[in-house]
Structure 1
Amino acid sequence: MKIIHGKTLEEWKRDNPNLHTIMETEETFWRNPKYKDFEEAVSKLSITLADVKEAEERLIRFAPYLIKAFPETEEANGVIESRTIRIPKMKKAMENHYKMQVNQEVFLKADNLLPISGSIKARGGIYEVLKYAERIAIDNGMLSYDDDYSILTNKSFGELFSQYSIAVGSTGNLGLSIGIISAKLGFNVFVHMSADAKEWKKDLLKEKGVTVIEYNSDYSKAVTEGRRQAQANENMHFIDDENSKDLFLGYAVAALRLQKQLEELGIVVDEENPLFVYLPCGVGGGPGGVAFGLKLIFKDSVHCFFAEPTHSPAMLLGLLTGLHEKVSVQDFDIDNVTEADGLAVGRPSGFVGKLLEELISGVYTVEDEHLFQLLTMLVDTENINLEPSALAGFPGVIHIINQPDFQYPHATHLVWATGGSMLPEKMKKENYEKGKSYRKNKT
């Protein structure tokens, strides 16, 4: 008889009815029974809005450097940010696809177009590297907070940073963001990649001068090895996607910017006009940071939901069982094999899960075929091409309009598009054709 953390499988299923469909890798929608009002939940936490604003100020200091080092950021004055856009044609296609009326507005947060690395990871990953670089430069007497940070492009800084290294474990997008910014600054960079990482992401990193170390195993192995490498080198900084407060705060800054964008779009967010946000989730750092920032800004007027592949429901199992990082999908005989490579994580971040345990409204899972169908629909309707994992947010809209206690006539739905602009054209075409084939078969 199989024992999972002190309980039999039958006992787990008895206490958690959702486990039946989760273990069958069927699409599942789970409402968080531990969810609490914002003020009650946040009173127990140590991270504050002041921490998020400090991170925002650091990014503002770095804007002159980013403009000089990455000219594509000049138009946005060195701010790494994406647009929030209406997608009425996709909404109409979803209504036809799901045979359901969506009476509220649906928006897309286009993080697939974020400059430098084209995914949500450009937020937290780049932020943590910049913070590390700032500390080294200040400690060495070469930089002060009052300086024009564009001086960081000077050769002397590259020589300084070349004495230091950065390591990270990644399924792909975090490695890209950290590899690109770290190599540009002059660091030695080591990206430990899991077996599901796409070949083009590895190739791009190598082109940038990054050392890519590959494993025939999943994300957890890549992280473990990256952490081990850094522990053996005092001048090596390990960026820990599972536990990093700096990564988390870099992601959370998105909430401050989204607040301004929604105001510019004329979108009111309050008790009568709530905001529902759908975030694709792997280990949890990116969506967790964004969700936390949104809760700090909008409090009880925002509901955040994580979306995971049916074969990699790591955060769902961590929250549902209360075991967080102590449980893996393999414990429940789920294989963690998905084409949504950015979400192919078998064990969630305990740091994120515990922090959001009473703030996240729920989690749902999506089949790979479903992701590809949505991918093709979005190209056909809005001419927006995302990587498969970035489509996971869309079914959340349908889940929520089916929930009796979430019936708000003037709610706003926001789907977070987490990556896709850097996909090679060949892969975009292959993904599109695959989605087309799945849609044809469904018809």
Structure 2
Amino acid sequence: MTTIKGKSIEEWMKKFPDLYPILNYIPFYWNNPYAKNDKEAFQHQPLQLKDIQDAEERLERFAPFIAKAYPETESTGGIIESPLEKGDRIKARIEAITGQQIPGTFYLKLDSHLPISGSIKARGGIYEVLKHAETLLLENQLLSAKDNYRKIAGDTYREFFSQYTILVGSTGNLGLSIGVISAKLGFRVIVHMSADAKQWKKNLLRERGVKVVEHVSDYSKAVEEGREEAEKDSKSYFIDDENSSDLFLGYTVAAIRLKKQLEAQEIQISPETPMHVYLPCGVGGGPGGVAFGLKVIFGDAVKCYFAEPTHSPCMLLGMMTSMHNAISVQDFGLDNQTAADGLAVGRASGFVGKVMESLIEGIYTVSDEEMFRLITEMMDVEGIHLEPSAVTGLMGPAYVVQNNTRVTEKDIHLIWATGGSMVPDDIKQADYQKGMEYKNNPDAT
């Protein structure tokens, strides 16, 4: 008899009846029984507001360099940020698709349109590379915190960084963001990519001078290989998507930026009229960091939910069973095969899972077929192309309303659209056509 951590499937199912739909690839909403109120949840957290503020200050120091190196950011003074837009039209389509009236207002946080790498990974990935670069320069007395960081764009600094290597394991977007910024600074860059990573992302990295190592196995193997390679060279630095607090902190800064955007649009939230935030989740670093930051800034006025593919619900399994990174989707017979390459992760980050288990309201899953249909719906009604992983947030509001009768017309539903603007036109068209097939044949989803 096959056992998982010493228990049979039957024993696991008896202890966690919600496993039935999950193990049968049936879209499902899990209400997190471990969630606590803000005061309780933050009693023993390893990171605090001061850590988020430190990360924001570092990004502000680097803003002159970013503006110089990436002219598309000059208008924002080198601050990498995405638009916040209303989503009335897509809300109407979600209500029609699900047959569920959704009280409240839809907003879209378009990290799909972040400068430089066009995904949420531009937050954490770029931040950790910049922090590492700053550390090296300060240690070698080539920089003072009082300097104008614009000078880092010069050839002297590129030559200095060329003796160092940055490595990362990725399913796609993290490798893209780290590769692009590292190469711009002058680092040697090696990105270990899993089999499910999109070919166009590998091609783009190689065009930027990044070495891409392809693996026939999944994300976890790519991370393992990258980590082992970095350990062989004292001048190599491995960015660990599974365990990095720096990567995590880069994502948390989104909360400070969002607060300013909400204030500019005179959007009021409170514990009585909360903001529900829906975040696509793979290994967990991006959504975990954003959600953590939001909880620090807004407390109980924000409710966060993770969205995963039905074929790769690693955070859901890890958090539901409290096993976190000690188990994988493959342990339970799931195949980890999904078009949502950024979410094609079999084993969640233990660091993120443990930090977030008391802070998120729930986790839900979305089928690949539904993702493609949502890509088409977004293009048709909002004129925005998103990647398969980035549309998973759209299904969250219907799930929340079905499972929470306290949602009112004053509530805000914020869909975090995590990537898509850099997808090549031919792939955008192919995704759209595939979605049209599912739209015209709803039973297929």
With normalisation by structure 2, the TM-score equals 0.99
Aligned to 2:61, the other structure's residue is in SS state: helix
Give percent identity, aligned residues only: 56
* Structure 1 residue 144 displacement after superposition: 0.4
Q: Mapping of 1:407-418 within 5 angstroms?
A: 407-418=407-418
The answer to whether the 8 A contact 2:103-2:407 is kept is: no
Structure 1 stretches lacking a partner, 5+ long: none
The answer to whether the 8 A contact 1:400-1:406 is kept is: no
The answer to whether the 8 A contact 1:288-1:356 is kept is: yes
Aligned to 2:250, the other structure's residue is in SS state: helix
The answer to whether the 8 A contact 1:274-1:408 is kept is: no
The answer to whether the 8 A contact 2:103-2:411 is kept is: no
The answer to whether the 8 A contact 1:375-1:386 is kept is: yes
- Which segments of structure 1 move beyond 6 Å, counting only runs of 4 or more? none
* Structure 1 residue 273 displacement after superposition: 1.1
1:79 aligns with 2:100: no
What code does the residue aligned with 2:22 have? I
Residue in 2 that maps onto 1:335: 335
* Structure 1 residue 405 displacement after superposition: 4.2
d(CA) in 2 for partners of 1:125 and 1:161? 17
* Structure 1 residue 103 displacement after superposition: 2.8
Aligned to 1:282, the other structure's residue is in SS state: coil
The answer to whether the 8 A contact 2:103-2:408 is kept is: no
d(CA) in 1 for partners of 2:406 and 2:195? 40
The answer to whether the 8 A contact 1:220-1:345 is kept is: yes
Residue in 1 that maps onto 2:242: 242
Residue in 1 that maps onto 2:399: 399
Deviates more, 1:262-271 or 1:289-298: 262-271
Aligned to 2:336, the other structure's residue is in SS state: coil
Residue in 1 that maps onto 2:62: 62
Residue in 2 that maps onto 1:233: 233
Residue in 1 that maps onto 2:113: 113
Residue in 1 that maps onto 2:351: 351
d(CA) in 2 for partners of 1:264 and 1:411? 18
Deviates more, 1:262-271 or 1:247-256: 262-271
* Structure 1 residue 408 displacement after superposition: 2.7
Residue in 1 that maps onto 2:193: 193
What code does the residue aligned with 1:12 have? W
1:66–1:305 Cα change, 3 Å: same
Q: Mapping of 1:10-409 within 5 angstroms?
A: 10-409=10-409
d(CA) in 2 for partners of 1:269 and 1:260? 13
* Structure 1 residue 97 displacement after superposition: 1.8
d(CA) in 1 for partners of 2:406 and 2:202? 42
* Structure 1 residue 409 displacement after superposition: 3.0
Aligned to 1:146, the other structure's residue is in SS state: coil
With normalisation by structure 1, the TM-score equals 0.99
Residue in 2 that maps onto 1:3: 3
d(CA) in 2 for partners of 1:32 and 1:87? 27
What code does the residue aligned with 2:90 have? M
* Structure 1 residue 98 displacement after superposition: 1.7
d(CA) in 2 for partners of 1:407 and 1:41? 22
d(CA) in 1 for partners of 2:50 and 2:29? 34
1:143-191 CA distance string (max 9 Å, x none): 0011000000111101110010000000000000000000000000000
The answer to whether the 8 A contact 1:281-1:307 is kept is: yes
d(CA) in 2 for partners of 1:102 and 1:38? 26
d(CA) in 1 for partners of 2:331 and 2:276? 31
The answer to whether the 8 A contact 1:121-1:174 is kept is: yes
What code does the residue aligned with 1:293 have? G
d(CA) in 2 for partners of 1:131 and 1:406? 42
What code does the residue aligned with 1:341 have? D
* Structure 1 residue 100 displacement after superposition: 2.4
The answer to whether the 8 A contact 2:124-2:250 is kept is: yes
d(CA) in 2 for partners of 1:409 and 1:440? 31
* Structure 1 residue 403 displacement after superposition: 2.0
What code does the residue aligned with 2:271 have? E
d(CA) in 2 for partners of 1:82 and 1:189? 26
Q: How many residues align?
A: 443
**For the aligned residues, what is the CA RMSD?**
0.8
d(CA) in 1 for partners of 2:425 and 2:222? 28
What code does the residue aligned with 1:245 have? S
Structure 2 stretches lacking a partner, 5+ long: none
d(CA) in 2 for partners of 1:442 and 1:163? 55
d(CA) in 2 for partners of 1:262 and 1:6? 49
Aligned to 1:423, the other structure's residue is in SS state: coil
The answer to whether the 8 A contact 2:104-2:407 is kept is: no
